[in-house]
Chain A
Amino acid sequence: MTLILQTIVDGLVLGGLYSLAAIGFSLIFGVMNVVNLSHGIIVLIGSYLSYILWRTLGIDPLLSIPLVMVALFGFGYVYQRGLIQLAVDRSSLLASMLVTFGVALMLRNVLVLIFSPDFKSITPSWAFNFFVIGPITVDLVRISALAASLVLLCLLALVLGYTHMGRVIRATAQQDLAARLCGVNARHVYGLTFGVSAAFAGASGAILGIVLPFSPPDEAHWTINAFVVVTLGGVGSPSGALIGGLLLGLISTATSQAIGPAFPNAMMFLILVIMLLVRPAGLLGNAFSGSR
């Protein structure tokens, strides 16, 4: 019983992180149908930025989140307007996927050259505190990671739901032609969406840095996780990402607990393929047209 409870708690903590890491991917996919294979590397850039701020200036990783988000928002906007949009215009959506893959390779190489391929981790002074609730142990690091993830997801839901920018993004996602007819500058909105996506990916990277050690080749893992989360939960909404992420966290901790530590990935993909076949719109079923 204790084991099951502990597995659930661990799964939820991991899941919160997955949700936050996936939401940006989900937004881009939902708004412009671009599969951003460089998403994972943006998550890691967030981790490394927060690592630099912590090592050189001693800024606490949780406090560095806003700084990381601002920097990566700018990066995302420029990246979309400068490269992705051009690729989509000149070629096809599938080919734009190759462009994002190429960028991921380049950035990964750059990260390896700057930071070496060794694992890094961020350990603020409070990193080793933990508390005990009944039979379950929870580290302070993990619980603060979960809390930060949930706060940021709520923030994004509010931004999307109630601000002008959010409304414009949602309108463009639903019907970009109609949105443009109403005077929306669709390209600017695409840029904004990419910026928001990169900002939240970076934030999740900063949080990930205090929970898990990270190294540049991890990026593929985070991209694929984002894809699974989106397929599980449904595209383009924070609630979908939250449900997908929590499910994925639970599935992977439960699989490694019950079957063996080598199997979470296989199980994850099995579920991904089954979900694609059975219910391609995700559990929350935000319909997206292209799948069949």
Chain B
Amino acid sequence: MSAAGMMMAGGTLPGMLAQGIAAHRGWIALALAALVLLALAPLYLSPFHVRVAQLFLLSAALAIAWSLLGGFAGYWSFGHTAFIGLGAFVAGLVETGWTWPSPALAFAVGLLAGALACALLAGLIAYPILRLRGIYFAIAMLGVAQVLGELNNSIDAFKGTMGIVLPQLAPRAVEPATFYYYLLLVAAAVTLAIGFAVKVSRLGYGLLSIREDEDTARMLGVPTERYKIQTFVLSAVLTGVLGIIYAHSLGFITAGSVYRTDFSLNMIVYALLGGMGTLIGPVIGAGIMVVLTQIVLGRLLDTHMFITGALLVILVMLAPRGIVGFVKPILARWRGGFR
């Protein structure tokens, strides 16, 4: 059904969700199969490959969270690492600032506080900053991330330079790497599910209309301002939660280890490599880049940066609409040939 048709059918959220699930049965089956395969992965992978898979899950989930705003609405944030850092540090300060009866409770409170802080920051800056478009929005977000990172680093109360040692969550019996692998798997699955819900709901179609032509969408009665703010806050909270889990998997964080420009950048690269505005795109992109950088290029430390840069250039030149955009026409032609 076309976007306009969907909008008109435009029932309630459960209605649209049911419709969306029915329309994407194949994809959902594929996602569930992948979930089962990934859940069994630690049984047959070596510890090193479990770490790589953990990084893949984190990267894919971050790229999806970024995509909600960047891919669907076309608002490319260059500073999403602000939320990773903010979430991680608020959670860390809350968890270490008081004594909690159990690490699990501490983590729950930290998670809540971190997510809340991200929502608060995003809600606060959303209205002014989402008035900027294109490159100006991108750079303003870069600025927000830099200011936050620098303040966190230079104000002693936030322990950005000293660092925070986070409580260990993994029970004694479980290998920490495996524990965080499953935690990230759950987080990634939830992020993907939320992404799917956004995509097939009214909000998702509204975001697409904003990407295509914001002024026209607004003129036609799409509440662009509200949709953008909601999505920005949602994306920030998801990014923050992932950042908190990542911080715990590190065990010790400084401002430098969570406010990282390469995080912000990687989210964009993964989404762009896979295919902007799709849900499978960020996952494919993260998969390819993580395998390439961790396994193939792991030994080439001297020229690592050069090859990453060259890949970036080649990628934009050869497949400007990502792998999904590259494969889709081929698939369509292939299917057409058999009809």
Contact = CB atoms under 8 A, between A and B. Distances in A.
Contacts of B304: 109
Given A87-B316, A98-B316, A265 B146 contact: yes
Contact of A110 (B129, B142, B306): B306
Interface string B144-161: 101100110110000000
Contacts of A83: 313
A93 interface: yes
Contacts of B305: 105-106, 108-109, 112
Contact of A262 (B129, B134, B150, B317): B150
Interface in A236-282: 260, 262-263, 265-266, 269-270, 272-273, 276-277, 280
B269 interface: yes
A292 B129 CA distance: 10
A98 B147 contact: no
A292 B308 contact: no
Interface residues of A, number: 45
B306 A290 contact: no
B76 interface: yes
B309 A102 contact: yes
A260 B150 CA distance: 12
Interface in A52-105: 83, 86-87, 90-99, 101-105
Nearest to B70: A94
Q: Which of A103, A269, A270, A272 has the most CB of B within 10 A?
A: A269
B136 A290 contact: yes
Nearest to A272: B143
Most buried by A among B129, B153, B305: B305
Interface string A197-230: 0000000000000000000000010001001000
A93 B133 CA distance: 13
A235 to B, nearest CB: 11
Interface string A120-159: 0000000000000000000000000000000000000000
A224 B261 CA distance: 12
B139 A101 contact: no
A220 B302 CA distance: 19
Contacts of A92: 320
A112 to B, nearest CB: 8
A292 B316 contact: no
A151 B140 CA distance: 32
Contact of B138 (A94, A104, A110): A94
Contact of B144 (A104, A227, A273, A291): A273
Interface residues of B, number: 40
Nearest to A101: B312
A106 B317 contact: no
Nearest to B149: A266
A112 B261 CA distance: 20
A99 B320 CA distance: 11
Nearest to B146: A269
A206 B153 CA distance: 32
A232 interface: no
B150 A113 contact: no
A269 B147 contact: yes
Contact of B147 (A95, A270, A277): A270
Contacts of A99: 312-313, 316-317
B136 A291 contact: yes
B39 interface: no
Given A94-B135, A94-B138, A101 B317 contact: no
A100 to B, nearest CB: 9
A87 B129 contact: no
B114 to A, nearest CB: 22
B133 A291 contact: yes
A102 B313 contact: yes
Given A94-B134, A280-B132, A292-B132, A104 B147 contact: no
A87 B142 CA distance: 23
B131 interface: yes
Given A93-B135, A102-B309, A106-B310, A266 B317 contact: no
B147 A266 contact: yes
Given A102-B308, A269-B147, 5 more contacts: A90-B316, A94-B76, A98-B316, A105-B309, A277-B131
Closest 9 CB pairs of A and B: A105-B309, A102-B312, A91-B320, A266-B150, A109-B306, A106-B309, A262-B154, A109-B305, A102-B309
24 contacts: A35-B135, A87-B313, A93-B134, A96-B316, A99-B317, A101-B265, A102-B310, A105-B305, A105-B312, A106-B313, A108-B305, A109-B304, A113-B303, A227-B139, A266-B146, A269-B143, A270-B147, A272-B139, A273-B129, A273-B143, A277-B140, A290-B135, A292-B132, A292-B133
